[in-house]
Chain A
């Protein structure tokens, strides 16, 4: 692993043969089918198309899979603590405090009738014994940390009064105020403009390099993952097609070693440097899921 993990340090998260099944009237939908990885203090990207199970993986780690879904795994360990045998109460304490998730769309993930500042302060008070004033002060510091220029003013705003980029930063502030060890970011920038996107990535990048946080970055954007992450898992149909260092994604010399699905995904992107009359479309091989 080219990550910041030293060999002696235990990984933040170990996952072995994770499965997520939904029992529906028409049969079992297998959203994740046997995914294994370990996460150190690094940026781990998960890419894939919609329905490949990448978001479900993130939710399964946090125990946020709704009924009728079930999460099965041979091993799911957070810093030596077995998440599978842990009772719900302890698991809930872990969630948000030690393992946190930033959802895709701030419009649907923030409470519309509470100011954004109160929501951040609330997140702090859930996990720490703190007075209202102290929580407020911490929240203002956090808003500043995510590059919001007038934290005092923004604190009092309701979610509909902030822009998409600002809403996303508010969500990140809310997740980071508890100082988690692992942050799962589910398409944190796909609703944002490119320039704002880079600011958000910068914030996440600093957290990994400075605080040693482990980041799981879920995205459908190959270019972004390639330039931002250390390692990438390419998912299709609930399975990992391959895991590779992000830098090798674009490496022409390593093409022959790539999985055909990864090549297919790369091939259908329009490219400024290599204009083509017709874009390649993806052919899917049922054998990949065997």
Chain B
């Protein structure tokens, strides 16, 4: 592992009109590391990923990826290094394009010639049988669609994957398969992940370090071990952890 961080964020600020959704956020992710971002809806966690992926161009601060400072509008070379997987596999695949079309498009954009071999390889990597190549999204299950979305991200052979709630639309059994796949791919290819999720157990399983966000601010950065030991420093992180442990009748019942 190199000492140079794969991703370095310094004082990132994002506003949508009046709403200031990300406030002075700074963190670094090392190369080969898996970094989690957790928080409730509206905490700005997805916005951070969209800014990193270059999908949101209205921000201020410093972003360096693989040691290179990033402009507001990213170049093609950037997109070969950084790819994103979205939350909803039902919404992120074009309903009228086959799996083959979805995987071929990034290759066409980047002018890569050996599309045939690359598509076959990407499908094999995510465990999709070759017979699925000319299927439409409606002919696939949720888990298979998410595999297509991961294959589409991998087909350019990036080094950084941004994962926005990759399993929250899936059943627990399918979630396990997709998480295992992501773990295996990371080990094989020395990928760097940023995983956004609201599920603390998923983040603890997948990541070495994580950041808790609230109202656009980074509240606390901790290791997965700290989380598993139930030892966060801040009250908010502690509260989030308690809330995720399920319903407690005693705590919830107001004495009469």
Contact = CB atoms under 8 A, between A and B. Distances in A.
A268 to B, nearest CB: 4
A261 to B, nearest CB: 10
Contacts of A272: 200-201, 204, 227-228, 230
Contacts of A1: none
A227 interface: yes
B252 interface: yes
Interface stretch (B80-88, B150-158, B173-181): B173-181
Interface residues of B, number: 36
B252 A205 contact: yes
Contacts of B239: 195
A279 B180 contact: yes
B172 interface: yes
B176 A268 contact: yes
A269 B180 contact: no
Interface in B57-115: none
Interface residues of A, number: 35
A193 B40 contact: yes
Interface in B181-228: 183, 198-202, 204-206, 224, 227-228
B40 A268 contact: no
B117 interface: no
Interface string A232-275: 00000000000000000000000000000000110011111101
B173 A224 contact: no
B139 interface: no
B142 interface: yes
Contacts of A279: 176, 179-180, 205
Contacts of B201: 269-272
Nearest to B251: A198
Contacts of B19: none
Interface in B25-48: 40-41
Given A195-B243, A224-B247, A280 B200 contact: no
A100 B227 CA distance: 40
Contacts of A270: 176, 179, 199, 201-202, 204-206
B41 A194 contact: no
A277 to B, nearest CB: 8
A281 B247 CA distance: 26
A78 interface: no
B140 to A, nearest CB: 14
A194 B252 CA distance: 13
B156 to A, nearest CB: 27
Nearest to B179: A279
Interface string A184-223: 0000000001111110011001000000000000001011
Given A50-B142, A227-B248, A272-B200, A282 B228 contact: no
Contacts of A280: 176
A278 interface: yes
A152 interface: no
B171 interface: yes
B152 to A, nearest CB: 23
Nearest to A279: B176
Nearest to A282: B173
Contacts of A194: 40, 198, 240, 243-244
Interface string A46-81: 000110000000000000000000000000000000
A270 B207 CA distance: 12
A180 interface: no
B246 interface: yes
Nearest to A201: B247
Contacts of A224: 246-247
Contacts of A34: none
Interface of B: 40-41, 142, 171-177, 179-180, 183, 198-202, 204-206, 224, 227-228, 230, 239-240, 243-249, 252-253
Interface of A: 49-50, 164, 193-198, 201-202, 205, 220, 222-224, 226-228, 264-265, 268-273, 275-282
29 contacts: A49-B171, A164-B41, A195-B40, A195-B239, A195-B243, A196-B40, A201-B252, A202-B252, A202-B253, A205-B249, A205-B253, A220-B171, A224-B247, A228-B246, A228-B247, A264-B173, A268-B175, A268-B176, A270-B179, A270-B199, A270-B201, A272-B200, A272-B230, A273-B228, A275-B205, A275-B224, A279-B176, A281-B176, A282-B176
